[in-house]
Amino acid sequence: MSSFTRQLSPRDPHEAHRAATPLELFFDLVSVIAIAAAAAGLHHAIAEAHAVEGIITFLMAFFAIWWAWMNYTWFASAYDNDDTLYRLLTILIMAGSLAMAAGIGALFKSGDLTMVVTGYVIMRLGMIALWLRAANNDPDRRSTALSYAAGIGIAQIFWIVFLALQPLQPVFLYGLFIAGVVLELAVPVVAERKSNTPWHRHHIIERYGLLNIIVLGETLLAGGLALQQVAGGATNIAFVHIALSSLVIVFSMWWLYFAREDHLTSTDLSRALTWGYGHFIIFASGAAVGSGFAVLVDVIAGKAEASLLVGDYAVGIPVALYMTSLWFVRDRFCLQGAARWVLPVFAVLVLLAPFTPVALEGIAALTALSVIVRNYMASRGNATKAAGRL
């Protein structure tokens, strides 16, 4: 068979030393652009006192980015053969991501969905082609692959009709969007029940970790915006507080995610779906923290219509959601006793911090303390469990 097309055989799910490929990393780079566009839209919406509309639009845009990324990532974990056709289809999906990113600004400004939906559909058409290849090359999972291709195709017809119906009143717009989300989320649930695709557990964990680093980069960028104000001659010490708090919070979020406990200990379908789908909130909240810090920079600089309390909550709420989501996908499964509840407790404390005199600094201190307390209690629990086995 030529180098243009090779057998798209299923990968070994137990392959040793499986790691992200250069093509996957390149694919992530394109996702960075779309994530940055969504985070910027959220930042400006909150700063301009349109928080509710901004949050809804952000969640809509982020779902499209995350879901397209997630579908490709799990497929690549099971079937990546790196032939020319596979690379070209990946490039097509990346082109759709760039188109989607280009339309996010218009979505936030005027509600125009044209470019976002067009880019999304292009990405998903690329996935249909990949699943049809898998169906042709993996007879044992042919039914699963065809179910994916058919399900994705039906969902794209829905989105095309959804776009053709614009403009819609908000109640119908959001209602139909939620229906489309449910349809998309149902495809893997139905398809994988026929026979599980041979995704690689450690590879998937690595891929999710890499995307989490990308979304946390939005907070580092916002901290840089605060320091730019200082470099530009601003004398308000609050900009330094914002920069330092952003560093403490982003490193604490990184540390909480990359704990010693394994994220996904089983390939059981229900567990994998809980973990995989639950990461939507982790990724979205991670990106939203950066938006919150950017809002605070605008508030202190006098460029925002939002209040300082709104800015503090623009940071605190996504930090609390990030902690709660980590508990939902990981800690409630892998920790025992009081250690299991550390992150939900600290999430509540973070939500109370903006009402205190320390506000942002309190959020930063609590986030850092959550790392210390969680890891200490997790270590004690693991030591007790090990002693009990002796």
In order along its 390 residues, the chain shows pLDDT tens digits of: 456 888 888 999 999 989 999 999 999 999 999 999 999 999 999 999 999 999 999 999 999 999 999 999 999 999 999 999 999 999 999 999 999 999 999 999 999 999 999 999 999 999 999 999 999 999 999 999 999 999 999 999 999 999 999 999 999 999 999 999 999 999 999 999 988 999 999 999 999 999 999 999 999 888 888 888 888 877 789 999 999 999 999 999 999 999 989 889 888 999 999 999 999 999 999 999 999 999 999 999 999 999 999 999 999 999 999 999 999 999 999 998 999 999 999 999 999 999 999 999 999 999 999 999 999 999 887 666 655 555
Contacts of the segment 327-335: beta carbons below 8 A, 24+ positions apart: 328/274, 328/278, 328/281, 329/263, 329/274, 329/275, 329/278, 329/279, 329/282, 330/259, 330/261, 330/263, 330/275, 331/261, 331/374, 333/265, 333/271, 334/261, 334/262, 334/265, 335/261, 335/377, 335/378, 335/381
pTM (two decimals): 0.95
pLDDT for 1: 47
Cβ atoms of 323 and 343 closer than 8 Å: yes
Is the sign of the CA dihedral 33, 212, 60, 67 positive or negative? positive
The answer to whether 318 and 288 have CB atoms below 8 angstroms apart is yes
Q: So what's the pLDDT on residue 230?
A: 80
Provide the token pair at 234: 């601003």
The whole-angstrom separation of Cα 81 and Cα 62 is: 29
Cα angle 279-285-286, degrees, rounded to a multiple of 5: 90
Q: How many residues does the chain have?
A: 390
Q: What is the DSSP letter of 138?
A: -
Q: What is the CA radius of gyration of the chain?
A: 22
Q: Give Cα 73 to chain centroid, integer Å.
A: 12
Is residue 167 reached through a cis peptide bond, with omega within 30 degrees of 0 on the bond before it? yes
Q: Please state which architecture CATH assigns to domain 201-389.
A: Up-down Bundle (1.20)
What pLDDT is attached to residue 388? 58
Longest dimension (CA), the chain: 69
Question: Phi and psi of 46, rounded to 5°?
Answer: -70, -45
Specify whether the backbone of 83 is left (phi greater than 0), alpha (psi in -120 to 50) or beta.
beta
CB 363 within 8 A of CB 248: no
Helix residue ranges per DSSP H, the chain: 22-47, 51-79, 84-110, 114-137, 142-164, 170-192, 201-231, 238-257, 269-300, 308-326, 332-334, 342-352, 360-389
Q: What is the pLDDT of residue 275?
A: 96
**CA–CA separation, 67 and 65 (whole Å):** 6
> So what's the pLDDT on residue 304?
92
Q: Domain boundaries in the chain?
A: 22-192, 201-389
Neighbours of 52 (CB within 10 A): 10
Cβ neighbour number for residue 390 with a 10 Å cutoff: 4
Closest CA to 288 of 338, 253, 331: 253
Q: Look at residue 262 in the predicted model and tell me its pLDDT.
A: 86
